[in-house]
Amino acid sequence: MKRTYNKTPLTFEEQVELLKSRNLAIVNPEYAKSKLAHINYYRISAYLRHFQQDDTHQFIEGTSFTQVIRLYYFDKKLRSIIFYAMEKIEVYMRTVLAYHIADNHGAFGYADRTIMHSIHNYEQILKSIQADVSRSKEVFVKHFFETYNGEYLPVWAMVEVISFNTLSRLYGNLKEEDQRKISHEIGLKPVVLARWLHSLTYVRNICAHHSRLWNKMLAVRPIVPRGDKNFKDLNNTKIFFVLSVIRYLLEKIDGDEYDFKAEIKELLAMYPEVPIFNMGFPENWEERMIWR
């Protein structure tokens, strides 16, 4: 049976007192109040839970407000690193997808339903593409439709204005022959790349909305590639699996330009108190080939 919501809003001072009453050590109440004034209590509560006992709101003995805030900033920096790395993967996928479709099916090949696996998905994806294009404020979009006949942008222009989610769905609905030509360049099977892109889209959206990520159970899980020792025995519901996916893809497409591993190691060194086991890190994670 549903209940009537009757919780009353609390002032920042009352929020501090509530946390203190639950055994959270707050040495500097003014500092705590200033943080709560800048970071919504409800957002911080996602990090508070890590330090609370299972069936109560009471905090584990010795837990301090500073620990909670440091965990919050660790997660914030983690999301920033992932978001930056994702840009490189995203740009690559836009480029290779546009090149392949144009080279094999022409400038408007993506609008040809015969190259798609599912007609239903094709229709939904085409609607998403058109919606993304119509929302775009890019000058080149306006110029194209003022200059040329037709309802579609050429694929090399289209990929620059659609969302990564739409891009992922577009690749995932190509017939396997086309998928394979794209995935072969980075040494993956088509189904693996499709599932990885889907999961990366999900993680990217978490980062974009500044949501908790570090110990999250992933709702959209990347597939485990068969026979690849880099991913053997890893928990694909945890963020370390996604970090390994990003590391793998960057090594294939970005080479030495961006040292993703160094960024992760530096972050972990800055916050040694963060339990990386909760993120799915195995004890020997740096010994795996892609992390060496």
Q: List 116's β-bridge partners, or say none.
A: 174
Q: Return mean pLDDT, the chain.
A: 94
pLDDT, average across residues 178-203: 95
pLDDT tens figures, 73-84: 999 999 999 999
pLDDT at 136 over 90: yes
Which of 254, 94, 243, 109 shows the shortest CA–CA distance to 182?
94
- pLDDT the model gives residue 189: 95
pLDDT at 118 over 70: yes
Specify burial of residue 150 (Cβ count, 10 A radius: 0-12, 13-18, 19+). exposed
Among 78-82, 207-211, 215-219, 256-260, name the one with the lowest average pLDDT.
Answer: 256-260
DSSP state of 101: H
The helix or strand, by DSSP H or E, that contains position 21, with its residue range, turns out to be helix 12-21
The three-class DSSP label of residue 7 is coil
The three-class DSSP label of residue 116 is strand
pLDDT tens figures, 225-264: 998 888 989 999 999 999 999 999 999 887 667 899 999 9
Which of 36, 43, 34 shows the shortest CA–CA distance to 209?
43
Q: What is the pTM of this model?
A: 0.92
